[in-house]
Amino acid sequence: MVDTAEVLLDIRDLDISFASPGETIHAIRGVNLTLRRGETVALVGESGSGKSVTMKAVMGILPANATVNSGSITCSIELEEKKREIDLLKADDAFIRRFVRGKKIAMVFQDPMTSLNPTMTIGNQLIAAIRSHERCSRKQAFSKALNLLREVGITEPERRMSQYPHEFSGGMRQRIVIAIALSCDPEILICDEPTTALDVTIQERILELIVSLQRKRSLSVIYITHDLGVVAKVADYVNVMYAGRIIETGTVIDVFYDPRHPYTWGLLSAIPDVESDEELYSIPGTPPVLSKEPEGDAFAPRNPYALEIDLKAEAPLFKISNTHSAATWLLDKRAPKVERPESLQKRIDKMKREAAEYVR
Protein backbone atom coordinates (compact mmCIF):
# COMPACT_ATOMS: atom_id res chain seq x y z
CA MET A 1 0.00 0.00 0.00
CA VAL A 2 1.53 3.29 -1.05
CA ASP A 3 -0.05 6.43 0.28
CA THR A 4 -0.38 9.09 -2.40
CA ALA A 5 -2.32 11.83 -0.61
CA GLU A 6 -0.67 15.24 -0.55
CA VAL A 7 1.90 15.74 2.19
CA LEU A 8 0.84 18.62 4.45
CA LEU A 9 3.49 18.45 7.11
CA ASP A 10 6.84 16.76 6.97
CA ILE A 11 9.17 16.59 9.94
CA ARG A 12 12.71 15.46 9.06
CA ASP A 13 15.51 14.54 11.48
CA LEU A 14 14.27 16.89 14.17
CA ASP A 15 16.79 17.26 16.97
CA ILE A 16 16.09 19.47 19.99
CA SER A 17 17.84 19.99 23.29
CA PHE A 18 16.97 21.95 26.41
CA ALA A 19 19.41 23.96 28.44
CA SER A 20 18.78 23.67 32.16
CA PRO A 21 21.13 24.85 34.88
CA GLY A 22 24.23 22.68 34.79
CA GLU A 23 23.13 20.27 32.07
CA THR A 24 21.73 19.91 28.60
CA ILE A 25 18.81 17.60 28.03
CA HIS A 26 18.73 16.05 24.59
CA ALA A 27 14.95 15.65 24.39
CA ILE A 28 14.40 15.00 20.68
CA ARG A 29 16.95 12.82 18.91
CA GLY A 30 16.04 12.65 15.24
CA VAL A 31 12.29 12.48 14.71
CA ASN A 32 10.72 11.86 11.31
CA LEU A 33 7.00 12.21 10.79
CA THR A 34 4.77 12.74 7.77
CA LEU A 35 1.18 13.95 7.80
CA ARG A 36 -0.89 13.64 4.64
CA ARG A 37 -4.17 15.30 3.78
CA GLY A 38 -7.19 13.81 5.54
CA GLU A 39 -5.19 11.32 7.53
CA THR A 40 -4.79 10.81 11.23
CA VAL A 41 -1.40 10.21 12.77
CA ALA A 42 -0.91 9.23 16.38
CA LEU A 43 2.20 9.94 18.40
CA VAL A 44 2.35 7.52 21.31
CA GLY A 45 4.70 7.27 24.24
CA GLU A 46 5.27 7.74 27.93
CA SER A 47 5.47 11.20 29.53
CA GLY A 48 8.79 12.77 28.71
CA SER A 49 9.27 10.78 25.52
CA GLY A 50 9.14 13.99 23.49
CA LYS A 51 5.65 13.87 21.95
CA SER A 52 4.58 17.32 23.07
CA VAL A 53 7.96 18.92 22.42
CA THR A 54 7.83 17.75 18.81
CA MET A 55 4.42 19.37 18.33
CA LYS A 56 5.47 22.55 20.13
CA ALA A 57 8.32 22.79 17.62
CA VAL A 58 5.73 22.63 14.84
CA MET A 59 3.72 25.47 16.38
CA GLY A 60 6.85 27.51 17.09
CA ILE A 61 6.08 27.67 20.79
CA LEU A 62 9.14 25.92 22.19
CA PRO A 63 10.22 27.36 25.54
CA ALA A 64 13.08 29.86 25.50
CA ASN A 65 15.64 27.36 26.80
CA ALA A 66 15.09 24.98 23.86
CA THR A 67 17.52 24.82 20.95
CA VAL A 68 16.78 23.19 17.61
CA ASN A 69 20.07 21.53 16.71
CA SER A 70 19.06 20.26 13.29
CA GLY A 71 16.20 19.08 11.13
CA SER A 72 13.35 20.64 9.22
CA ILE A 73 9.59 20.95 9.49
CA THR A 74 8.22 21.51 6.01
CA CYS A 75 4.71 22.73 5.50
CA SER A 76 3.06 23.74 2.25
CA ILE A 77 1.51 27.15 2.62
CA GLU A 78 -0.48 29.13 0.11
CA LEU A 79 1.10 32.53 -0.40
CA GLU A 80 -0.44 34.87 -2.98
CA GLU A 81 -2.36 31.99 -4.51
CA LYS A 82 0.80 29.93 -4.90
CA LYS A 83 1.71 26.89 -2.85
CA ARG A 84 5.11 27.11 -1.28
CA GLU A 85 7.10 24.70 0.81
CA ILE A 86 8.13 26.54 3.95
CA ASP A 87 10.50 25.28 6.63
CA LEU A 88 8.73 26.35 9.82
CA LEU A 89 11.95 26.17 11.79
CA LYS A 90 13.50 28.85 9.58
CA ALA A 91 10.45 31.11 9.23
CA ASP A 92 10.26 34.13 11.51
CA ASP A 93 7.73 34.43 14.28
CA ALA A 94 5.60 37.10 12.57
CA PHE A 95 5.22 34.86 9.50
CA ILE A 96 4.24 31.85 11.60
CA ARG A 97 1.73 33.95 13.50
CA ARG A 98 0.13 35.21 10.30
CA PHE A 99 0.11 32.10 8.15
CA VAL A 100 0.54 29.06 10.37
CA ARG A 101 -0.83 29.32 13.91
CA GLY A 102 -4.58 28.92 13.93
CA LYS A 103 -4.72 29.43 10.17
CA LYS A 104 -2.89 26.39 8.86
CA ILE A 105 -2.33 24.38 12.03
CA ALA A 106 -4.34 24.60 15.23
CA MET A 107 -3.61 22.89 18.50
CA VAL A 108 -5.92 21.65 21.26
CA PHE A 109 -4.40 21.16 24.68
CA GLN A 110 -4.84 18.50 27.29
CA ASP A 111 -6.66 20.41 30.00
CA PRO A 112 -9.78 22.31 28.92
CA MET A 113 -10.09 23.75 32.43
CA THR A 114 -7.02 25.92 31.89
CA SER A 115 -7.07 26.46 28.12
CA LEU A 116 -9.56 29.33 28.16
CA ASN A 117 -9.03 32.88 29.37
CA PRO A 118 -10.97 33.11 32.66
CA THR A 119 -11.76 36.82 32.32
CA MET A 120 -13.13 36.84 28.76
CA THR A 121 -16.52 35.61 27.64
CA ILE A 122 -16.61 32.58 25.35
CA GLY A 123 -18.03 34.80 22.63
CA ASN A 124 -15.22 37.33 22.87
CA GLN A 125 -12.61 34.59 22.81
CA LEU A 126 -14.15 33.10 19.69
CA ILE A 127 -14.48 36.48 18.03
CA ALA A 128 -10.88 37.39 18.92
CA ALA A 129 -9.72 34.08 17.43
CA ILE A 130 -11.73 34.62 14.22
CA ARG A 131 -10.54 38.17 13.81
CA SER A 132 -6.91 37.30 14.37
CA HIS A 133 -6.83 35.94 10.81
CA GLU A 134 -9.88 37.32 9.08
CA ARG A 135 -10.76 40.89 8.28
CA CYS A 136 -14.41 41.03 9.16
CA SER A 137 -16.80 43.10 11.23
CA ARG A 138 -17.66 42.14 14.79
CA LYS A 139 -21.12 41.24 13.59
CA GLN A 140 -19.86 38.82 10.96
CA ALA A 141 -17.45 37.32 13.44
CA PHE A 142 -20.30 36.96 15.93
CA SER A 143 -22.47 34.96 13.55
CA LYS A 144 -19.52 32.82 12.53
CA ALA A 145 -18.84 32.17 16.23
CA LEU A 146 -22.46 31.07 16.69
CA ASN A 147 -22.11 28.59 13.84
CA LEU A 148 -18.90 27.23 15.29
CA LEU A 149 -20.55 26.64 18.66
CA ARG A 150 -23.42 24.83 16.94
CA GLU A 151 -20.94 22.77 14.96
CA VAL A 152 -19.24 21.48 18.13
CA GLY A 153 -22.59 20.68 19.73
CA ILE A 154 -23.14 23.55 22.15
CA THR A 155 -26.85 24.15 22.62
CA GLU A 156 -28.35 27.66 22.94
CA PRO A 157 -25.21 29.26 21.51
CA GLU A 158 -26.68 32.81 21.68
CA ARG A 159 -26.93 32.60 25.46
CA ARG A 160 -23.64 30.75 25.80
CA MET A 161 -21.71 33.46 23.95
CA SER A 162 -21.89 35.86 26.89
CA GLN A 163 -20.89 33.28 29.50
CA TYR A 164 -17.48 32.83 31.05
CA PRO A 165 -15.42 29.61 30.97
CA HIS A 166 -16.13 28.78 34.63
CA GLU A 167 -19.81 28.41 33.78
CA PHE A 168 -19.13 25.36 31.62
CA SER A 169 -18.28 21.75 32.43
CA GLY A 170 -14.99 20.17 31.35
CA GLY A 171 -16.49 18.46 28.33
CA MET A 172 -18.25 21.64 27.18
CA ARG A 173 -15.05 23.61 27.61
CA GLN A 174 -13.17 21.14 25.44
CA ARG A 175 -15.88 21.57 22.78
CA ILE A 176 -15.39 25.33 22.99
CA VAL A 177 -11.63 24.93 22.77
CA ILE A 178 -12.15 22.84 19.64
CA ALA A 179 -14.50 25.50 18.24
CA ILE A 180 -11.83 28.16 18.81
CA ALA A 181 -9.16 25.92 17.28
CA LEU A 182 -11.30 25.49 14.15
CA SER A 183 -12.30 29.16 13.98
CA CYS A 184 -9.97 30.02 11.11
CA ASP A 185 -10.51 26.78 9.19
CA PRO A 186 -7.09 25.19 9.69
CA GLU A 187 -6.09 22.14 7.64
CA ILE A 188 -4.20 20.46 10.43
CA LEU A 189 -5.42 19.90 13.97
CA ILE A 190 -2.96 18.80 16.64
CA CYS A 191 -4.66 17.26 19.68
CA ASP A 192 -2.38 17.00 22.69
CA GLU A 193 -4.01 14.37 24.92
CA PRO A 194 -7.43 15.88 24.14
CA THR A 195 -9.36 13.55 26.41
CA THR A 196 -6.94 12.74 29.22
CA ALA A 197 -8.32 15.35 31.61
CA LEU A 198 -11.95 14.36 31.02
CA ASP A 199 -13.98 11.57 32.54
CA VAL A 200 -14.49 8.42 30.54
CA THR A 201 -18.03 8.97 29.27
CA ILE A 202 -17.11 12.46 28.05
CA GLN A 203 -13.85 11.21 26.49
CA GLU A 204 -15.81 9.06 24.07
CA ARG A 205 -18.03 11.94 22.95
CA ILE A 206 -15.14 14.35 22.43
CA LEU A 207 -13.36 11.73 20.32
CA GLU A 208 -16.52 11.21 18.26
CA LEU A 209 -16.78 14.97 17.82
CA ILE A 210 -13.19 15.24 16.59
CA VAL A 211 -13.70 12.31 14.20
CA SER A 212 -16.92 13.77 12.78
CA LEU A 213 -15.38 17.24 12.38
CA GLN A 214 -12.41 15.64 10.70
CA ARG A 215 -14.66 13.98 8.12
CA LYS A 216 -16.78 17.06 7.54
CA ARG A 217 -13.89 19.46 7.18
CA SER A 218 -11.39 16.93 5.74
CA LEU A 219 -8.97 17.80 8.48
CA SER A 220 -5.65 16.10 9.01
CA VAL A 221 -5.18 15.27 12.66
CA ILE A 222 -2.18 14.50 14.83
CA TYR A 223 -3.01 12.91 18.18
CA ILE A 224 -0.49 13.04 20.97
CA THR A 225 -1.49 10.41 23.48
CA HIS A 226 -0.41 7.62 25.74
CA ASP A 227 -3.80 5.94 25.43
CA LEU A 228 -3.56 3.13 22.90
CA GLY A 229 -7.34 2.73 23.11
CA VAL A 230 -7.73 6.18 21.58
CA VAL A 231 -5.14 5.35 18.93
CA ALA A 232 -6.95 2.18 17.89
CA LYS A 233 -10.21 4.08 17.49
CA VAL A 234 -9.04 7.06 15.47
CA ALA A 235 -5.61 6.74 13.92
CA ASP A 236 -4.47 5.68 10.44
CA TYR A 237 -0.77 5.74 11.33
CA VAL A 238 0.95 5.17 14.63
CA ASN A 239 4.35 6.43 15.72
CA VAL A 240 5.69 5.04 18.96
CA MET A 241 8.13 7.38 20.66
CA TYR A 242 10.73 6.48 23.21
CA ALA A 243 13.44 8.74 24.67
CA GLY A 244 13.15 11.34 21.92
CA ARG A 245 13.07 8.92 18.98
CA ILE A 246 10.37 7.19 17.00
CA ILE A 247 11.09 3.53 17.60
CA GLU A 248 8.24 1.97 15.69
CA THR A 249 6.09 3.42 12.95
CA GLY A 250 3.40 1.96 10.77
CA THR A 251 -0.29 1.79 10.03
CA VAL A 252 -2.62 0.95 12.88
CA ILE A 253 -2.84 -2.58 11.49
CA ASP A 254 0.96 -2.88 11.38
CA VAL A 255 1.53 -1.69 14.91
CA PHE A 256 -1.42 -3.34 16.65
CA TYR A 257 -1.42 -6.69 14.83
CA ASP A 258 2.24 -7.08 14.06
CA PRO A 259 4.25 -5.08 16.62
CA ARG A 260 8.01 -5.65 16.33
CA HIS A 261 9.64 -3.48 18.97
CA PRO A 262 9.78 -4.90 22.51
CA TYR A 263 8.69 -1.47 23.81
CA THR A 264 5.55 -1.61 21.66
CA TRP A 265 4.97 -5.13 22.98
CA GLY A 266 5.16 -3.70 26.47
CA LEU A 267 2.74 -0.89 25.68
CA LEU A 268 0.22 -3.27 24.10
CA SER A 269 0.50 -5.71 27.00
CA ALA A 270 -0.10 -2.85 29.44
CA ILE A 271 -3.58 -2.04 28.10
CA PRO A 272 -6.08 -3.05 30.80
CA ASP A 273 -8.41 -5.86 29.71
CA VAL A 274 -11.53 -6.50 31.76
CA GLU A 275 -12.00 -10.03 30.44
CA SER A 276 -8.52 -11.19 31.34
CA ASP A 277 -7.64 -12.80 34.69
CA GLU A 278 -3.96 -12.10 34.23
CA GLU A 279 -2.17 -9.48 36.24
CA LEU A 280 -1.86 -6.17 34.37
CA TYR A 281 1.54 -5.91 32.75
CA SER A 282 3.74 -2.89 33.33
CA ILE A 283 7.05 -2.14 31.65
CA PRO A 284 9.78 -2.42 34.30
CA GLY A 285 11.96 0.59 35.13
CA THR A 286 11.64 4.22 34.11
CA PRO A 287 12.52 6.09 30.92
CA PRO A 288 16.09 7.39 30.80
CA VAL A 289 16.92 10.97 31.74
CA LEU A 290 18.39 12.45 28.59
CA SER A 291 20.93 14.71 30.28
CA LYS A 292 23.59 12.38 28.91
CA GLU A 293 23.45 10.32 25.74
CA PRO A 294 22.21 6.80 26.47
CA GLU A 295 24.89 4.14 26.25
CA GLY A 296 23.82 1.76 23.57
CA ASP A 297 20.07 1.56 22.96
CA ALA A 298 17.94 3.87 25.13
CA PHE A 299 15.46 1.08 25.88
CA ALA A 300 18.07 -1.62 26.59
CA PRO A 301 18.04 -1.34 30.43
CA ARG A 302 14.28 -2.04 30.46
CA ASN A 303 14.28 -4.53 27.63
CA PRO A 304 13.97 -8.19 28.63
CA TYR A 305 14.95 -9.11 25.04
CA ALA A 306 18.07 -6.92 24.94
CA LEU A 307 20.94 -8.38 22.95
CA GLU A 308 24.59 -7.69 23.57
CA ILE A 309 24.64 -5.14 20.76
CA ASP A 310 21.83 -3.22 22.51
CA LEU A 311 24.26 -2.21 25.23
CA LYS A 312 26.75 -0.87 22.70
CA ALA A 313 24.83 0.81 19.88
CA GLU A 314 21.43 2.29 19.23
CA ALA A 315 19.36 0.28 16.80
CA PRO A 316 18.67 1.92 13.41
CA LEU A 317 15.16 1.89 11.96
CA PHE A 318 14.74 -1.45 10.16
CA LYS A 319 12.23 -1.50 7.35
CA ILE A 320 9.66 -4.28 7.64
CA SER A 321 7.32 -3.21 4.85
CA ASN A 322 6.62 -0.02 2.88
CA THR A 323 4.67 1.37 5.79
CA HIS A 324 6.16 -0.42 8.77
CA SER A 325 9.56 0.08 10.43
CA ALA A 326 10.95 -0.49 13.89
CA ALA A 327 14.22 0.39 15.61
CA THR A 328 15.23 -2.82 17.34
CA TRP A 329 18.24 -5.07 16.85
CA LEU A 330 15.89 -8.05 16.88
CA LEU A 331 15.17 -7.23 13.24
CA ASP A 332 18.82 -7.50 12.24
CA LYS A 333 19.67 -10.50 10.02
CA ARG A 334 22.19 -11.75 12.58
CA ALA A 335 19.78 -11.54 15.54
CA PRO A 336 18.38 -14.72 17.08
CA LYS A 337 14.73 -15.28 16.33
CA VAL A 338 12.63 -13.94 19.19
CA GLU A 339 8.87 -14.42 19.25
CA ARG A 340 6.39 -12.04 20.83
CA PRO A 341 5.33 -13.04 24.35
CA GLU A 342 2.57 -15.60 24.19
CA SER A 343 0.07 -13.55 26.24
CA LEU A 344 0.48 -10.64 23.84
CA GLN A 345 -0.02 -12.91 20.83
CA LYS A 346 -3.27 -14.10 22.43
CA ARG A 347 -4.35 -10.50 22.87
CA ILE A 348 -3.57 -9.69 19.26
CA ASP A 349 -5.51 -12.73 18.06
CA LYS A 350 -8.42 -11.62 20.21
CA MET A 351 -8.27 -8.09 18.80
CA LYS A 352 -8.30 -9.52 15.29
CA ARG A 353 -11.32 -11.70 16.08
CA GLU A 354 -13.17 -8.77 17.63
CA ALA A 355 -12.39 -6.58 14.63
CA ALA A 356 -13.61 -9.29 12.27
CA GLU A 357 -16.86 -9.62 14.21
CA TYR A 358 -17.25 -5.85 14.23
CA VAL A 359 -16.89 -5.71 10.45
CA ARG A 360 -19.40 -8.50 10.01
Region for 332 from its dihedrals, namely left if φ exceeds 0, alpha if ψ lies in -120 to 50, beta otherwise: beta
User: How many of the other CB atoms lie within 10 Å of CB of 333?
Assistant: 5
Supply the minimum distance, in Å, between the C-beta of residue 213 and another protein. 16
- Given the rule CB under 8 A, which of 125-133, 211-219, 273-281, 301-309 is the region that contacts another protein? 125-133
Report, in Å, the least distance between residue 116 CB and another protein.
Answer: 6
Under rule CB under 8 A, residue 252 binds another protein: no
Residue 213 is a binding residue for another protein (CB under 8 A): no
**Binding span for another protein by CB under 8 A among 36-44, 83-91, 102-110, 150-158:** 102-110
Q: CB-based contacts of 151: which residues, under 8 Å, 6+ apart?
A: 179, 182, 213
Among 133, 226, 245, 347, binds another protein (CB under 8 A): 133
Interacting stretch for another protein, rule CB under 8 A, among 56-64, 71-79, 80-88, 336-344?
A: 56-64
Nearest to 317 by CA among 245, 236, 244, 224: 245
Choice between 100 and 202, CB closer to another protein: 100
Q: Applying CB under 8 A, which part among 160-168, 218-226, 289-297, 312-320 lies near another protein?
A: 160-168
Q: CA dihedral defined by 327, 333, 336, 340, rounded to 10 degrees?
A: 50
Q: Are 222 and 43 in contact (CB under 8 A)?
A: yes
57-87: string of b/e by CB count within 10 Å (b at 16+)? bbbbebeeebebeebbbbbbbeeeeeeeebe
Please name the residues in contact with 157: beta carbons below 8 A apart, sequence gap of 6 or more.
145, 146, 149, 150
85 is an interface residue for another protein by CB under 8 A: no
Q: CB of 61: closest distance to another protein in angstroms?
A: 6
Tell me which of 69, 114, 212, 343 binds another protein, using CB under 8 A: 114
Closer residue to another protein (CB): 91 or 238: 91
Q: Which residues within the stretch 161-190 sit at the binding site for another protein (CB under 8 A)?
A: 164, 166-167, 177, 180-181, 183-184
Q: Rule CB under 8 A: say whether 119 interacts with another protein.
A: yes
Report the C-alpha gap between 112 and 116 in whole angstroms. 7
> Rounded to an integer, what distance in angstroms lies between the CA atom of residue 260 and that of residue 340?
8
Minimum CB–partner distance for residue 134 and another protein (Å): 11
Of 1-9, 81-89, 104-112, 347-355, which part binds another protein (CB under 8 A)?
Answer: 104-112
Residue 98 interacting with another protein (CB under 8 A): yes
Helix (H, G, I), strand (E, B) or coil at 56: helix
Neighbours of 209 (CB within 10 A): 18
Smallest distance, another protein to C-beta of residue 218, A: 20
Which residues have CB under 8 Å from 46's CB, separation 6+?
A: 226, 242, 287
- Determine the Cα–Cα distance for residues 174 and 284; give it in Å rounded to an integer: 34
Point out which residues bind another protein (CB under 8 A): 59, 61, 64, 97-98, 100-103, 106-107, 109, 111, 114-120, 124-125, 128-129, 132-133, 164, 166-167, 177, 180-181, 183-184
